[in-house]
Amino acid sequence: MPTLEEAQKEIIAEFSEAADWEERYQMLIEIGDELPILSPELKTEDRLVPGCQSRVWVVPEEKEGKLFIQADSDSAITKGMIALLLRVFSGRTREEIKSASLEFLKEIGLDKHLSMSRRNGLYSMVNKIRSF
């Protein structure tokens, strides 16, 4: 498993190959499509991320001091965003998650190319993960 910093650098490298934002959105959708489907019984109200325009469920499980996270969304782009966050955060210690830099979001341009509501949702997902 790559380090937290390596995972972020991999994402930056992948997105830097995209020619424009239309291609980056397509990448997000494809990344989201790779996310395993969350079983319906895990899609409960208490697992919903507040502040998201779309419905996003986040399910944490702690094993041997590390937090493993499953997630799903009813929106293709949002599912891609949560999939990126899982690549960075899942399998890390609570301390790593709390102290992780989110510079990769700026580096790939998500923070400025998303609509205000999607950007707020993205940071709501980060806050939900960090709250565990």
Catalytic residue among 4, 7, 52, 71: 52
Q: How far apart are CA 53 and CA 1, in angstroms?
A: 32
**β-sheet bridge partners, residue 126:** none
Assess whether 52 carries a catalytic annotation: yes
> Residue 51 CB: number of other CB atoms within 10 A?
15
63-83: b (≥16 Cβ within 10 Å) or e? eeeebebbbbbebbbbbbbbb
Q: Which are the catalytic amino acids?
A: 52
